[in-house]
Structures are given as C-alpha cells and as structure tokens.
Amino acid sequence: MTGTRTILHVDLDAFFVSCELLRRPELRGRPVVVAGGGESHPGEARSAGRSVVSAASYEARPSGVRSALPLARALRLCPQLVVLPVDIDHYARISKQVFAIFQQYTPLVEPGSLDEAYLDVSGSQLVAGDGPTIAAAIQTRLADELGLPASVGVASCKTVAKVASDLRKPRGLVVVPPGQEGDFLSELALERLPGAGPKTVARLRLLGVTTLGDLALLDDARLRAVLGPQGEQLRDRARGHDPAPVVPPGVPRSLSRERTFARDLTDLTEAQRMVRLLSFAVARRLRAGGLLAGAVSLKARFADFQTTTRQLTLPRPASADLELVAAAQELLRRVWQPGVRLLGVGAEQLVPHGQGQLFEGPAEKGARLDVALDRLRDRFGTGAIARGIGSLGAEEDWNRDHLRQLGPPPAGGGGAPSAL
C-alpha cells in the first residue's frame, strides 16, 4: 500500500469481557456478559434489575445475547449466563496499555472508545512494513503481551477500515486494497455503514435500497428527498470515499451522564430532580477537565424503549451548574411524557476555557460557588455537599461517552482526568 494513505481500525473483541477473563481464566469458553453495576454477580442472586448488557462473550452470542440488550432478557435467552459487574477502572488501566502499543507504530492514533481506534500508518511503512504487516504485528502483540483478541481492518480511509474490522470478528484481519473500496462495500447490507442508523436504513429500504451498492448508485434528487443534505456524504462513504483524517485526541467532542431507573418515572417533578442531578455531574466533569460546553443535550428513553435526543445551543460556552440545568430542563419540558425509563444529560461542542473566562459575565457568583463546592467534594467526598437536591450515588450508568479519554489539560485550565 506504499504511496497511498493507509488507515487501520483496531477493535478489541468483546473488550470488557476479555478484560474480565484475564483475572477469571476459569470462565473461558463459557457464556459471559458484563452488565450493570452490582445487580448480579456469579454465584449470587440473579437479579437483573434494569441493567443492560455492556459486552457479551462470543460463546453467549449464539443464544441472541448482545450488547445493549436488557439483562433480564439476556438471562431468559441464556439461563446459564455468567454475569459480571462493570469495572470501568480496570478496563481503563488495560486500555492505556493497548494504546501504548498503538503509539509505538504511529503518533496518529484517534480513539473511538477504550476498545477501538483509528491509526494512520501511512508514514510508518518504511520502518514497520506495509499496512497488513503492521496490522498483523499489532494483533500478535495484543494477544501475546496483553492476552487480548482484536480484529483489524486495513484500508485507504476510516469508513472502509471500520467496516472491514467488523466483518470477520473475532480475531479478523481484513485488507481492502486501494481502488477496491467500492467493490468491497457494494454487496454489504446498509446497516454495515457507520452512520447509517435505523431511521436512515428504514427510509432507504422504502426506495428498495438494501445494500451499500444500491446506495452508491442512488441519484441526487431521490437522495436529497429521502435523507436531506447529509445524503450525499453518506452515499460517498458507501462508495468508499472518506477524506476524514485521523485526529489524535485533544479536547473530547462530548461527555454525558445517564441514569436508568428501577421503575419508570411518571412524575415530572421527579424527572426534573434527576435532570438537575445529572446536569450537576456533567458540569463538574467539565470544570475538572478545564472545558466549556457550547450546547447541552438531553436523552430520554421511554417504557416502550423508544429513545429521543434533543440538543440546545447555549448563548455562550459554559460549565456552570445552573446554566447547564436551565438548558437541560428546557429540553425535558419539550420531550416529557410519563413513563421515562432512562434520562441522560450531555455536554456537547466542548472547548477549552480561557484564563479568567470561567468568572466572566453575569454568572460570576454562581461559577465561584460551583468551584467552591467542587473543592469541598474533592476534599471530603462527592456526597459531602450538594445544592439541596441529593446525589446520584453509585447507580449512574456508563455509556460510550464515558469511555472517551481526555487529552492533556488545555493551557490555563484544570487538570483533566485520564478517562471520563
């Protein structure tokens, strides 16, 4: 692949489960999932609560068990399932070792989460070999040094590399030579394309479009009518054209907190209280990372599992508790209906805060109070003091946003944690 851009997408297979098997080797070969917090453990009462599966071993998948499946349903599908609680700190420590290996081949590493990354190895080939050689070497080192299986896609762009890495899991290595991207994608189902969500796929199927090859041939007028302005970009990617660069992390794109409830919320006042708590948790993480949010998002999942996400742009980037709360409460008002199973608040369009920027404007008093409260919590614990509304406790859910690592703290900002 000399003379063209060479991108690797490395995806650790069932990463959370693989991390658990490193310290529980006796569970190898058995159907295992990582799910929830402390609801269910091996050898104890099998109470699924409202947890969902975060990762499933390949031995569990023939039964229909997969990530994002409610744990209660997973246990019905596979009664012999071994359920382990999420230990995000353990996975983060192992992830650092994984990314240390990536960095030995190229500085151009873009994390997708703790368990996947894009690597641009175009400039590494004179030293380390061509793309397939580097991919095989990384696979071998992950297995031999860390005991972790991984699948790798090698292609000339990020989209095709990601599709390739997912095609032959586990332990797959798929290479797409330059010039063959369109042929490689053409027979694959629409769902294989990153960014083609269920609603997009459903709209395209109404036109008889079922494969990426069909999408690649769709004319401009029909494409705009069905998908709007973003349709052309999706079609280009279905053709294997994706100029997006591999971007090493600096400021994360977003961060969020979620909570799944033991019983569906039917009272608006209780939902508002939870949105306040989630907003405060997000705001504190922003301040800890020296970041400001340009927008706030709200995610609501209802009793029928339908999920709605809304976003509101702030008048100015902010990290103050009350500014985030006000935006999140407005979004809750727009989507509210009784029977809420999950709520999440997110900070979007993140930027580093400048020196002194934190205390500018009419929110100065509130911002100073936020920082004072943060210092008390840092000293005496997160439950030491709050704004009179209680605390989230230890029952927050982890989602993929939490797995995105923060880069170095921006100049003038606070020290960033190693992972969200």
- Which positions are annotated as active-site residues? 116
Tokens 């969500």, located at residue: 197
307-318, strands of its sheet edge to edge: 254-265, 340-352, 291-302, 307-318
Q: Residue 49 and residue 261: Cα distance in Å, rounded?
A: 9
Rg (CA), the chain: 23
Short-list 51, 60, 82, CA closest to 14 = 60
Q: Give, as one character, the DSSP assignment of residue 69.
A: S
Mind spelling out the 3-state secondary structure of 132-196? HHHHHHHHHHHHHHHCCCEEEEEECCHHHHHHHHCCCCCCCEEECCCCCHHHHHHCCEHHHCCCC
CA–chain centroid gap for 380, Å, is: 31
Short-list 116, 160, 167, 164, CA closest to 138 = 116
Whether a cis peptide bond, with omega within 30° of 0, leads into 362 is no
